[in-house]
């Protein structure tokens, strides 16, 4: 009985955790790209 009532809540919580995890990975990847582009730009300006 308890499991039947908690299952939908657990499913929602799991979906939220997965969404936050994916968002974090994308955010880190985007920041790495921005940083690499900035470093490339600085290196081109030095040459």
Domain ranges of the chain: 15-47
For residue 5, pLDDT beyond 90: no
The Cα–Cα gap between 40 and 47 comes to 11
Mean pLDDT of 12-26: 96
For residue 24, pLDDT beyond 90: yes
The Cα–Cα gap between 28 and 25 comes to 5
For residue 3, pLDDT beyond 90: no
The Cα–Cα gap between 29 and 21 comes to 12
The predicted pLDDT at position 25 comes to 96
pLDDT-based confidence at residue 46 (cuts at 50, 70, 90):
confident
The predicted pLDDT at position 20 comes to 97
């Amino acid at each position: 009985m308890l499991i039947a009532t908690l299952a939908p809540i657990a499913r929602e919580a799991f979906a939220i955790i997965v969404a936050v995890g994916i968002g974090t990975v994308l955010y880190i990847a985007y920041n790495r790209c921005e940083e690499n582009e900035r470093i490339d730009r600085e290196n081109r300006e030095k040459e």
